[in-house]
Each structure stands twice: as C-alpha cells, then as structure tokens.
C-alpha cells in the first residue's frame, strides 16, 4: 500500500536509521516493489539474498542495486536434482498441486487439492523426501497446504545478525542500534 511506501521513505530519510525489508518473496519481486526507495536495504528469499541500502541522493535503479548471497553450506543444485523429480511425481498424481522453485527453496503446494487426498500425498512426499535428502544439510518446513525444502542454515535471522553487526561496526563497535523493530510473520 501507498502508506507503507510513504512510511519506508520517511524512515529511510533519517540518517540515524538502518532500514531493511526482509521478505520470503523472490529477489525480482522484492526489488520491483521496493527497490526504488533510497536508503532501503532489501533481503529476499527469507534472507538468502540481500542488497545493501543505496545512499540518499544516488539514483536507485535495478542497474545500481547490487545483490549478494549467503553461503548456506549446501549444494543447492544437487538438492534440486534429487528433490524435483520426486515433487513432480507427486504433482502428476495430485490434481491441483504444483511445485514452486525459488532461489533457496523448493515447495510443493497442495493447498488447492482435495483436502484428504492432498494431506495423504503430502505425508508420503515428506517421507520420500526425508529419505532421499538425508545426506544434505536441509530441513523441511510444513505450512498450511505446503511442504518446503530449505537449507538448514536459512532463516531471516541471518540477515538481521549481519545488519546488526554492520551497524555496530559503523558506530565504532559500541553495540550500534538502540532499537530494533521486526514485523510480520
């Protein structure tokens, strides 16, 4: 909403604030929605990729914004090679289900399926994935109607810790920010 964009502009305009938006959405979507706000740091894919704030006065465009990624300690291509065929097999047998691939997660959604059949297929999929991915440093996240495979190290706290460390360093190591506000789910 426009009120949120306006509030972010106001917060970012104050040089004593460090403002980051951390989202579970894809980098492209986060950048398209918020990348134009000067002074705003962005983190996408639950913090797996991040873009530091572009200082006030510099043009904020996709060409100017740089993105970095955390080393999450897992060969994500190898995980995909193992997990994708299993997920697609369950998609073929479960009407209304689909696979969602992101930078750092693989999801299987059965939200729009027959509830009993979807839940049964989800439990079988989970067992098969747990066995197939036993040798990889991943964890499974179950949400309403979704099973996700993510690197074990990935969580939004990664980027929060990084930002807090950088704020502390910029303030001479004195602990940095006196106030941290986190909102959302």
Q: Are residues 103 and 64 in the same domain?
A: no
Could you tell me if residue 41 is inside a domain?
Answer: yes
CB proximity list for 88: less than 8 A, separation 6 or greater: 99
| pLDDT higher at 64 or 151 | 151
Question: Per-residue confidence at 63, pLDDT binned at 50, 70, 90?
Answer: low
> Is the confidence at residue 181, as pLDDT, over 60?
yes
Q: Is residue 22 part of a domain?
A: yes
**How far is residue 37 from each of residues 41, 46, 64, measured CA to CA in Å?**
9, 20, 12
Indicate whether 53 and 87 sit together in one domain: no
Token couple for 102: 């992101």
Cα(92)–Cα(152) distance, rounded to whole angstroms? 28
CA 29 to chain centre: 11
Specify the number of domains making up the chain.
2
Strand partners, 69: 49
> Are residues 22 and 85 part of one domain?
no
Does the pLDDT of residue 145 top 60, yes or no? Answer: yes
> Does any domain span residue 34?
yes
| For residues 4-12, average pLDDT | 92
Range of the domain at 126: 76-151
59 inside domain? yes
Residue 180 belongs to a domain: no
138 with 160, same domain: the answer is no
Structure tokens at 76: 């994500």
- Listing DSSP states for 66-104 in one string gives --EE---SS-HHHHHHHHHHHHHHHHHHSTT-EEEE-SS
Would you place residue 150 in the very low, low, confident or very high pLDDT band (cuts 50, 70, 90)?
very high
- 179 falls within a domain: no
Identify the CATH number of the domain in which residue 129 sits: 3.30.70.1020
Q: State whether 106 and 140 are in the same domain.
A: yes
The percent of residues in the chain predicted with pLDDT above 70, rounded, is 91
The verdict on residue 48 lying in a domain is yes
The reported pLDDT for the residue numbered 172 is 72
pLDDT in tens, 69-122: 988 889 999 999 999 999 999 999 999 999 998 888 999 999 999 999 999 999
Contact 54, 66 (CB under 8 A): no
Residue 117's pLDDT is what?
A: 96
133 is a domain residue: yes
Q: How confident is the model at residue 160 (pLDDT cuts 50, 70, 90)?
A: confident
Q: Which residue did the predictor score with more confidence, 91 or 56?
A: 91
pLDDT of residue 103: 82
């Amino acid at each position: 909403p426009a009120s949120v964009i306006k509030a972010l502009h106001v917060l970012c305009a104050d040089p004593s604030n460090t403002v980051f938006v951390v989202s579970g959405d894809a980098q492209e979507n986060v950048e398209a929605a918020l990348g134009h706000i000067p002074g705003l740091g962005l983190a996408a894919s639950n913090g797996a990729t991040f873009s530091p704030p572009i200082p006030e006065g510099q043009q904020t465009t996709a060409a100017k914004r740089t993105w970095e990624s955390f080393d999450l300690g897992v060969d994500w291509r190898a995980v995909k090679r193992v997990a994708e065929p299993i997920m697609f097999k369950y998609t073929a047998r479960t009407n209304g289900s689909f696979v969602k691939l992101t930078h750092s997660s693989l999801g299987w959604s059965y939200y729009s399926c027959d509830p009993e059949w979807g839940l049964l297929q989800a439990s079988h999929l989970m067992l098969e994935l747990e066995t197939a991915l036993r040798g990889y440093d991943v964890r499974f996240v179950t949400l309403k109607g979704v099973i996700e495979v993510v690197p074990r190290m990935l969580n939004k706290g990664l980027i929060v810790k990084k930002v807090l460390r950088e704020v502390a360093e910029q303030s001479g190591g004195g602990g940095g920010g006196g106030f941290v506000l986190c909102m959302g789910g």
